[in-house]
Amino acid sequence: MKYAIAIHGGAGSSPDMFSPEGNLARRKSMEQALTIGNDILKKGGAALDAVEQVVVYLENDPQFNAGVGAVFNAVGSHELDASIMDGSNLGCGAVAGVSHVKNPISLARLVMTGTSHVMLSGTGAEDFAREMKVEMVEPEHFDTPKSKEAWERTKIRLSQLKPGEPAPKAIEEIGASQIGTVGCVALDSHGNVAAATSTGGMSNKKYGRIGDSPVIGAGTYADNKTVAVSCTGNGEEFIRHVVAAEVAAQIRYKGCTAAEAVAEMLNNRLQPDDGGIIAVCPNGEITMQFSTKGMARATADSSGRFEVLWDENYKPAGESSNR
């Protein structure tokens, strides 16, 4: 039985941005999320179930920018995006701009299985959620003091820009918490791969803005013939370069490994600090790479590997990064 799984908790964050207690809490959350997915796969469960349940767990953790803890948009509310894809049949579902759905990733899966569509957005997605008896919450459910403080800092920083001056992209410049998008890719013992991604987007984003996370082929992709991919970072750039689908295309048409394909996108197609990518292939290859200062990530497989790669106290040999 062969299986493999990889998780990310968002590119852009690094251990020096957190207290020792914060680093420990983030490590423990990643470890618990990995345990959830690993246990499903170890028991012969489906990759699709593993990626959904991992992301549900992370959506419910206020340390990340997905679900509880999601960033505030420009009008002081939350708009959540998520997508999921089944590599066995290219089935996929996504939701964008939802504000009352407790776990957007589960609604995305229902879009895939319960409709003939791929993406639903805004009030239409929420009407569908109510039809499907999905748990709904008030937007305040997603508030945290940390995300609100980051929103206030972002507004101040942007207000200080001179006319025509571009907004700073680097996280440390803008002081935003648009870090923490979550994602998971998995290979199950039946040979199927799946991917899932969920986010609150960018702090102080324009009302109605949609990034790459719910866009199949940009932030999420899975195909049993090639690879499962989940992305995190500057959503506009990941959309422009259809990053997730490009990783699959390089594997399919150029014969690249997943590591080579991901490195090509991060090093040669995207700009420095644009983000990170995790991927798993049907042969069990796993890669987790980033061009930012850091990316919370974790991986496990049927060989017994079980690693959480995060703070300065745990840097195993061969840790994948392109810095």
> Which residue numbers are catalytic?
181
Per-residue three-class SS string for 18-33: CCHHHHHHHHHHHHHH
Burial of 148 (0-12, 13-18, 19+ CB in 10 A): middle
Distances (CA, A) of 65 to 88, 150, 179, 223, 283: 29, 11, 6, 26, 31
- Residue from 10, 58, 47, 45 nearest 227 by CA: 47
DSSP 136: B
Residue 206, SS3?
Answer: coil
Give me 157's structure tokens.
Answer: 């920083």
List beta partners, residue 255.
Answer: none
